[in-house]
Structure 1
Amino acid sequence: MAQIRIENLRKDFGAFTAVRSSSFTIEDGEFFMLLGPSGCGKTTTLRMMAGLELPTAGQVYIDGEEVGQKPASKRNIAFVFQMFALYPHMTVRGNISYPLKSQGMGKAQIRQKVGEVAEILGITAILDRPVGGLSGGDRQRVALGRAIVRDPKAFFMDEPLGALDAEFREHMAGELRALHDRMEATTVYVTHDQLEAMQMGDKIVVMNHGVVEQFGVPQDIYDWPATRFVAEFIGSPPMNFLDFEGMIGAGQDTVRLGDTTLQVPRSIDGANGRLSFGVRPEHVRLDDAAPYRGRVVATEYLGTTQIVTLDTAHGALKARVASNVPVRVGAAAGLAFDAQRVTLFENAHGHALRSEANRGVLGDG
């Protein structure tokens, strides 16, 4: 397996820039997620790493070798597509063995390697069945088997579970992660599903409009979003934003929202103008004694918790509270915030105002 490093990667399609100045490193053996909405540049980035697209500028290193201008066939990688791309006239065995036959490997060695891969994926019993009649999950396993059998340096996966129904998709996500752990493979995985990324990934790159917004481990990205876009994209419900006009000085640990002073983490970045007080729903408490006020407009019961939507002087806000907390639509409520979990954003560029203790990793833009 291999470390993968990209430096200042850029891709232009005529006047349109799909990826701009992206840089990050995927360590040997990591399960790495490229996450973002449709059109953000994540699949184009993956295709440049795999050699299916050549970059306009920048470098791609696989196992220390610069391969940015080499075709996919010269990179010793395997690519798994969303739509499986199996040969419908072949059996499961024929599909998995095809890459080895193309390399001129002997029949005995091919049979051994196909058997080993089928055992790993739990598809030994269907090796001699045609792929046309298989379920979506079994066809995905065959596609994985065809990739694994080559012993590539890295696996590239472009939304490989996107064609499956929601329940089976969650099951296959667990299987994929377990398979990765057994093989200790370097895996790069594209998805638009933030839950899938948080569930499976060791590291995540969040992209938007061709730019890396943040790069890090899932917990840090969730707890300390580097930009307002990341805070909105990650989390269900997403982070709340109370917008206000104000100023915060370097090292200041309070802000004024209307007539109320609220605690925030000490910031080394000063800012003034249009700002946002960001807090996740689970870090909001309903507290009658709290000075900041809102009015309940809706509740959503979720079993052990409920989502309470409130109207405030600075915008709508959602709180995730225990389901046994009494809440009445139309009632006034005090709102208390976990100050150490608050993130302030300047709205001109959407960047977080960070202290050294919780500074995120910003990409370009």
Structure 2
Amino acid sequence: MAEIIIRNLRKTFGDFTAVQSSSFKIEDGEFFMLLGPSGCGKTTTLRMIAGLELPTSGEIYIDGQEVGQRPARQRDIAFVFQMFALYPHMNVRKNISYPLISQGMSKRQVTEKVAEVSRILGIEDILDRPVGGLSGGDRQRVALGRAIVREPKAFMMDEPLGALDAEFREHMAEELRALHDRMGATTVYVTHDQLEAMQMGDKIVVMNHGVIEQFGTPQDVYDKPASMFVADFIGSPPMNFLRFHGQVHPGASSVRMHHADLVIPSAREPFEGDLVYGIRPEHISLTDESDSRGEVVAAEYLGTTQIVTVKTPGGDLKARVPSGQTVRSGEQVGLTFNGMTATLFDNQSGRALRSELNEGVLAHV
């Protein structure tokens, strides 16, 4: 398998810039997620790594070799698409064995490798069936088998589970991650689904308008978002944003917002102007012993928890509280924040201010 290094990667189509000066490193054997909304540049980045698109500028290293201007056939990459891309006139066995036959491998070697891959994927019983009659999940397993059988340096996966229904997609995500762990393969995976990225990825790059907003572990991008975009894109419900005008001094451990003092992780930089106090729903409690107050607007029952929407002077927020806690629409409630998990943002730029919580993470953005 292979380490992949991206340096100042850029791609333009005429006057449109799809990817802007991206740099990151994918460790050997890592499951690496490219995450973001449609049109953010994640698929274009994947296609440049794979050699399906040549970069306008920048460098791509695979296994120590600079391959930025090499065609896909010279990169030893296997690609898995969302729509399977199988040969409909061939059965499962022939689909999986085709890459090996094209390489001139002996019949005995082909038979052994197809048997090994089909055993790994649990598709031994469908090897002689035509692919046209298979379920979506089985067709995706066949597509994976055709990629795996080549034993490439890295796998490129472009939303491979996107065509499956929600329940089966979750099951296939678990299978795909387990397969990755058994093989120790370097995998680059594109998705717009933040839950899928959090469930499967070792590292995540969050992209927006061709720019990398944040690069880190799933826990880092969730707990320590580098921007309001990341905080809003990751999480369900997303992070709450309470806006106010204020001042922050280095070392400050609280901020004054709408007649209440809110705890924050120790600030590392000064700021004065329009601020945003970001807090996750699970870090808010409803209690009468608080100066911060609001009016309950709605409550959504989720079984063990409920999402309560509260109207406050800084804006509406959502709190995830125990389902047994009684709340009524229209009542006034006190709000207690776990301030050591909060993030302050510059409202104009949307970037997080440095604090004791995120200082190490922001240094690598």
TM superposition score normalised by structure 1? 0.98
Q: Secondary structure at the match of 2:53?
A: coil
- Secondary structure class of the residue paired with 1:330: coil
Aligned length: 364
Q: Distance in 2 between matches of 1:53 and 1:134?
A: 31
1:306-354 Cα distance to aligned partner (Å, 9 max, x none): 0000000010010000001111110000001001111000012111112
**Pairing of 1:228-267 with structure 2 (within 5 A):** 228-267=228-267
Q: Which residue of 1 aligns with 2:297?
A: 297
SS state at 1:353 partner: coil
SS at 1:198's partner residue? Answer: helix
Residue identity opposite 1:117 in structure 2 = V
Contact 2:266 2:356 in 1 (8 A): no
Tell me the equivalent position of 1:63. 63
Which portions of structure 1, spanning 4 or more consecutive aligned residues, are displaced by more than 4 angstroms? none
Matching residue of 1:339:
339
Quote the Cα distance in structure 2 between the aligned partners of 1:317 and 1:363.
30
Partners of 2:51 and 2:24 in 1: how far apart? 17
Match of 1:14 in 2: 14
Give the 3-state SS of the residue equivalent to 1:352 in structure 2. Answer: coil
Correspondence list, 1:215-230, <5 A: 215-230=215-230
1:363 is displaced (CA, Å) by 7.2
Q: Please give the alpha-carbon distance, in whole angstroms, between the structure 1 residues aligned to 2:171 and 2:332.
A: 43
* Residue 362 of structure 1, CA deviation: 6.5
2: CA distance, partners of 1:161 / 1:293: 43
- Alpha carbons 2:2, 2:28 under 8 Å: kept: yes
Q: What's 1:41 paired with?
A: 41
Identity %: 71
Q: Quote the residue 2:164 is aligned against.
A: 164
User: Which amino acid letter does the alignment assign opposite residue 141 of structure 1?
Assistant: R
Please tell me the residue identity of whatever aligns with 2:332: A
AA in 2 matched with 1:31: F
Q: Is the 8 A contact 2:265 2:356 kept in 1?
A: no
Q: Indicate if the aligned counterparts of 1:22 and 1:363 stay in contact, CA closer than 8 A.
A: no
1:349 corresponding residue in structure 2? 349
**Which residue type is aligned with residue 119 of structure 2?**
E
Aligned residue identity for 1:50: A
- State the AA in 2 paired with 1:343: T
* Residues in 2 aligned to 1:352 and 1:326: alpha-carbon distance in whole angstroms: 35
Tell me how far apart the structure 2 counterparts of residues 13 and 249 of structure 1 sit (CA, whole Å).
44
CA contact (8 A) 2:158 2:189 kept: yes
Which stretches in structure 1 are left out of the alignment for 5+ residues? none
Q: Which residue is 1:154 aligned to?
A: 154
Query: Aligned pair in 2 of structure 1 residues 356, 226: CA closer, same or farther (>3 Å)?
Result: same
| Aligned positions of 1:1-365 closer than 5 A | 1-359=1-359, 360-361=361-362
Residue type of the partner of 1:43?
T
State the superposition RMSD in angstroms: 1.0
Residue type of the partner of 1:71?
P
